[in-house]
Structure 1
């Protein structure tokens, strides 16, 4: 069983919890711990000052594009305000839907229709 390392958003980011750039140290710390084989508990300390951009870049990105196969099982969150919990779920749901839609569009574009591959003999004139 892995050790769980608790990290504090306040200790890593201080009062800077608004932009994607502010979230970079948090993302990196989580990533480093996961790659070292540690489980990660993110302590929000009941702060309700986090923004969509910060949450998306610092935390949700680990669930959307994990560099470690079992990242979703190895990241937990503590002392999360009701508002931030709802926001995290909303961001994850939105990104999941957006990525499914983009994947479907990409697949649709990559499929050739019969009109693309069948040429009538008269087209060669």
Structure 2
């Protein structure tokens, strides 16, 4: 069985949904994340919680539900102040770019907006031409 460091070094997609605390080490080291990796994090949903190493934000493009909410109660609370948080909704409607390059490290800081989740699910079903 691979440990977290080894698994992260091999992964294309990482999803974190833990109860990790800010007073403990992050789940993995930033240098273990290779170019092109996408990370979806949703466990740091309250003050005092942290899953990602803060230095990872310096080399990642960060997307979120709502920047104000992500800064207040998401993983982005732990990001440097200058980190740009792009609302996922802006990408979905074409007002902001998503991944620009195959080597981009991307982070989605999910703090939860149900209506946006529903819209994204419907857009994916439409794209895949699936009828319910």
Length-normalised TM-score, structure 1: 0.36
- Identify, as 1 or 2, the structure richer in helix: 1
**Normalization by structure 2: what TM-score?**
0.35
Whose strand fraction is larger, Structure 1's or Structure 2's?
2
